[in-house]
Every structure is written in C-alpha cells, then in structure tokens.
Amino acid sequence: MARAVVLVSGGLDSATVLAIARSEGWQCHALSVDYGQRHRAELDAAARVARALGAVEHRVVSVGLSDFGGSALTDPGIAVPTAPSAGIPVTYVPARNTVMLALALAHAEVIGADALFTGANAVDYSGYPDCRPEFLAAFERLANLATKRAVEGSPIAVKAPLVALSKARIVRRGLDLGVDFSLTVSCYAADGQGRACGECDACRLRREGFAAAGVPDPTRYAPQPAPAHMGIAP
C-alpha cells in the first residue's frame, strides 16, 4: 500500500482530508506541527482524529515559529479578532504552510511516502496566501527538486483535495466518509478543553459551513460571558 503523509491540524478540513486519503487506499502517516499555537487543544484533537480515522501513526513535530511572532495565533500580545477584517488577517502565521509542507516533505522522504496531503482551501478561507492553488503547485515543483528520491526518479505529489470546495461541501464530503466532526477543533481561541469561542474567523466559517450543508453543528462552544450591556436599565 502506498504511503502518504497527511498534515492533520485537528480541525474540520484536515480530518476530511485524512478520510479522503484513507478512502483512496493510502497508508496514512498523520503529522501535526506544534508551532507554538495558542490553541493547544487542536493538537489533542489531531491525535483523536488520527486514531479515529485509521492513520497508521500520528507524530507531532515541534518548530519554534512562535519565537518569530507576527501573528495572533502565536503572539499573546496580538488578540484574535472577533469580526472579519479586510485583507489578510492578523491570524495569518508567516510562512506557516511553507514550513508545514517542508516538514511533511522531510517526513515523507524518510518513510518513502509518495504523497503529501494538506487541507489547504482557497474558497471559504481566511485570505491566506499560502492556501492558493498556485502556491501548492509551486510547492510540489519545489518538492521534486529538493529531495533525493526525486533526483532518483520517484516524484512526490502534493494533494489538496479540498482546495476548490466550499466549507459546506467539505462538511458533506466528511460526513459521507464517516468523519465525526465533534472530535475536531477549528477555533483559533479554543479553551483548554477544546471548546470553541464561537466568534473568530475559524468559528464563523465552520458554523456557516454546517448551516449551509444543512446539518447540525456538533461543535462544543464555551459558555458565553454575559454581554456588557445586560443589567443596565433602559
């Protein structure tokens, strides 16, 4: 059975990607990247997802991206926004997908995998440049120049089966393949128990995806604080 490295973040998209890769017959080596993200609960979710969806292994590789800062996801001094913004948002982590794919490539070369799977998505996405098809094509080209196996005639494919799907179609695809989305954590500000804030971009896109797919949202949300105006007499 051919091997693939599947980047599994713990979120909805990469769980669906893992299910797709398994359904295509790949022996899946799940890889998560601990880059210092504040939403640590997603790494626990990644382990649950990898186990539930039949990955033959799950590894977590650490990389000190948070030392560089520059993102609301890695720098405690930058708040996660609770409303959509124009342009590329502050939750963008500089070069994150380049770093993650590079790590997946390293793992793939060591274990002799023929493909890398990523949940990158360019439709209902948050405006990240490194989720676009042209970025992914450029990475595949790089991968096939970078590696010993490529020099020796064994190419590596970069597969992003969700890249052109709406969040609703991703939800439906995952459900068709038996993904239990209650195991996943998408929220940028998930609490220690993996409960979602319900307000960040990732929560918004996820909630809209379930709604558009016409299925119940299984997300566990953290209790909301009472709004500040409550209790103020009119």
Q: Which is nearer to its own copies, 160 or 168 (CB)?
A: 160
CA–CA separation, 234 and 225 (whole Å): 20
Q: Are 74 and 62 in contact (CB under 8 A)?
A: no
Q: Which is nearer to its own copies, 25 or 129 (CB)?
A: 129
> To 5 degrees, how large is the angle CA 48–CA 58–CA 169?
60
Q: Are 45 and 19 in contact (CB under 8 A)?
A: no
Give the nearest distance from C-beta 87 to its own copies in angstroms: 8
Give the nearest distance from C-beta 96 to its own copies in angstroms: 7
53: left (phi over 0), alpha (psi -120 to 50) or beta: alpha
Q: Which is nearer to its own copies, 38 or 107 (CB)?
A: 107
Q: Which is nearer to its own copies, 136 or 200 (CB)?
A: 136
CA 180 to each of CA 19, 66, 73, 168: distance values in angstroms, whole numbers, following the listed order: 10, 30, 25, 15
Give the nearest distance from C-beta 226 to its own copies in angstroms: 36
| Stretch (H or E) spanning 172 | helix 167-176
Give the nearest distance from C-beta 31 to its own copies in angstroms: 9
Give the nearest distance from C-beta 42 to its own copies in angstroms: 18
Binding site for its own copies (CB under 8 A): 59, 61-65, 67-70, 88, 92-99, 101-103, 105-107, 109-110, 129-130, 132, 134-135, 138-139, 141-143, 145-148, 150-152
Which of 103, 99, 83 is CA-nearest to residue 91? 83
Q: Are 135 and 97 in contact (CB under 8 A)?
A: yes
Q: Which is nearer to its own copies, 150 or 222 (CB)?
A: 150
